Chain A
Amino acid sequence: MSADQTTLAFDWSCRVFADNGCGFPSPGLQSFLFKPMFTVGGLHFNKPMLLAILSSLVVVGVFWAAFSKAKVVPGKLQMVGEAGYDFVRRGIVYETLGKREGEKYVPLMVSLFFFIWIMNLWSIIPVAQFPVTSIIAFPAALAIVVYLTWMILTFRKHGFVGGMKNLTGYDKSLGPILPLVVVIEFFSNVLVRPFTHAVRLFANMFAGHLLLVMFTVASWYLLNGWLIPAGAVSFVMTMVMILFELFVQAVQAYVFVLLACSYVQGALAEHH
């Protein structure tokens, strides 16, 4: 993409009743396109990429500060870190996989949760103001990691035939509808699952960001003439949406990790 295509469609002069011929600069897909900021070795870095890398630095940095010199009697930061760690470990992994089976997958799930959460959180951080996960590539990368994990686990545990039976819900007692079930299950589990896993997160953050941009732009656009009260309403909505997004960001990170756990659990489960 070139620079002139990716100008953020926001013009300060666009106001209601302003006689300059421009309408409401409604946010759209163009709100999710960014100019490359700089190029390193043929790789064009743009804002979401930088934020993604910054997210990993923030997660590692905070956990480093909290856990690198962990003490039996914890400091404040370590206490907070432990609470977060315990939330994912006990609240998600142990709940779905059990303590014995799940222990191995705790690092993966903890990394996923906090990485996704911080990437989502950029949405309401001033200056950043963009959820990295609303670019499909980032949820897709994580969904691929999860997909590979549970696919490899399935075949390693059950072998090829057992693994296929596990993936297709093969069950002789189904009788004549067995072929149908096998086809549907295979389609649902092997093909659709990683797609929905990534898109669920992507679409939530995408929509959330659109709403935020929409109300923010509208607050400015309506701030003219007798529509000023409408602008005020839009501003209040922006504040409400920020709070709502704060909630959605955490929930989506939680859901993504919960689903990852349940996929792993399905891979480890005995097929019937």
Chain B
Amino acid sequence: MQLTQQLVQLAAEEENPLIPPGPELVIGLIAFAIVFFFLSKKLLPNINKVLEERRAAIEGGIEEAEAMKVEAQSVLEQYKAQLAEARHEAARLRQEAQEQGAALIAEMRAEGQRQREEIIAAGHAQIEADRKVAAQALRQEIGRLSSELAGKLIGEALEDHNRQSRVIDRFLDELEEKAEAAR
């Protein structure tokens, strides 16, 4: 046991750990070459491309958001302008309606006035006409009654119709004159 260990130690002392053995050196270079080849030729260019794409996508997204913001701003301003315009329009319409209403009322009042006057005038005319008819009828009735009365009083019939009516008219005119004088 001790002998083998001493042998091992002896062998180890012959090997200087700072002198690189050739085969290991070659294997180390080959192993590194494999790593470097795959990474530099394929895998890192691969990921660089993707990182670049991602950067572009993110920047594109930012630009898009910027554009949307600007658009939203313009739409908002448009809406505000439209709202102000609508308010203005509403105020104008109200004003107009008020004016129209006032004009309508005035017009209707005038119409009412006119109709009232018309009705009154018609009424007056009717009354006048009725009065005239009544006066006519009354005159005739009075004439007939008075001639009848006169006939009875005088005892003779007043046959002459013309003469009769002339007498009556004269009598009535006298009556009217008296009435006028009395007033």
- Bitwise, B125-137 to A at CB < 8 A (1) or not (0) is 0000000000000
Q: Main SS of chain B's interface residues?
A: helix
Q: What's the Cα separation between A258 and B145 when bound, in Å?
A: 155
A68 to chain B: closest CB distance in Å?
7
Partner-contacting stretch, out of B45-53, B87-95, B158-166, B174-182: B45-53
Q: What's the Cα separation between A6 and B7 when bound, in Å?
A: 10
Decide if A145 is an interface residue (CB 8 Å cutoff).
yes
Contact between chains at A142 and B11 (CB < 8 Å): no
Give the chain B neighbours of A145 by CB distance below 8 A: 29, 32
Give the chain B neighbours of A9 by CB distance below 8 A: 5, 8-9
Contact between chains at B18 and A68 (CB < 8 Å): no
Give the chain B neighbours of A68 by CB distance below 8 A: 42-43, 46
Contact between chains at A25 and B19 (CB < 8 Å): no
A36-66 interface (Cβ within 8 A of B): 43-44, 48-49, 52-53, 55-57, 59-60, 63-64, 66
- Kindly identify which residue among B7, B38, B50 contacts A60, using a CB–CB cutoff of 8 Å: B38
A245 to chain B: closest CB distance in Å?
19
Beta-carbon nearest neighbor of B42 in chain A: A68
Beta-carbon nearest neighbor of B11 in chain A: A5
Decide if B153 is an interface residue (CB 8 Å cutoff).
no
B64 to chain A: closest CB distance in Å?
16
B1-36 interface (Cβ within 8 A of A): 1-2, 4-5, 7-9, 11-13, 15, 17-32, 34-36
Decide if A141 is an interface residue (CB 8 Å cutoff).
yes
Contact between chains at A138 and B47 (CB < 8 Å): no
Partner-contacting stretch, out of A107-115, A160-168, A169-177: A107-115
Contact between chains at A64 and B23 (CB < 8 Å): no
Give the chain A neighbours of B11 by CB distance below 8 A: 1, 5-6, 30, 33
Contact between chains at A199 and B27 (CB < 8 Å): no
Contact between chains at B35 and A137 (CB < 8 Å): no
A90-123 interface (Cβ within 8 A of B): 106-108, 110-112, 114-115
Decide if A128 is an interface residue (CB 8 Å cutoff).
no
Residues of B within 8 A of A (CB): 1-2, 4-5, 7-9, 11-13, 15, 17-32, 34-36, 38-40, 42-44, 46-47, 49-51, 53-54, 57
Q: A5-B8, A135-B24, A140-B20 given. 7 additional CB < 8 A pairs? A: A32-B17, A56-B31, A60-B38, A63-B39, A64-B38, A70-B49, A137-B21
Residues of A within 8 A of B (CB): 1, 4-7, 9, 11, 20-22, 25, 28-30, 32-33, 43-44, 48-49, 52-53, 55-57, 59-60, 63-64, 66-68, 70-72, 74, 78, 81-82, 85, 106-108, 110-112, 114-115, 135-138, 140-142, 144-145, 199, 202, 206
Give me 29 A-to-B residue pairs in the complex whose CB atoms sit less than 8 angstroms apart, sorted by A's number. Answer: A1-B15, A4-B7, A5-B7, A6-B11, A28-B9, A29-B13, A43-B23, A43-B27, A48-B24, A56-B34, A57-B34, A60-B43, A63-B39, A66-B43, A66-B47, A67-B43, A67-B44, A67-B47, A106-B44, A107-B40, A111-B39, A115-B31, A136-B19, A136-B20, A137-B24, A137-B27, A137-B28, A141-B29, A145-B32
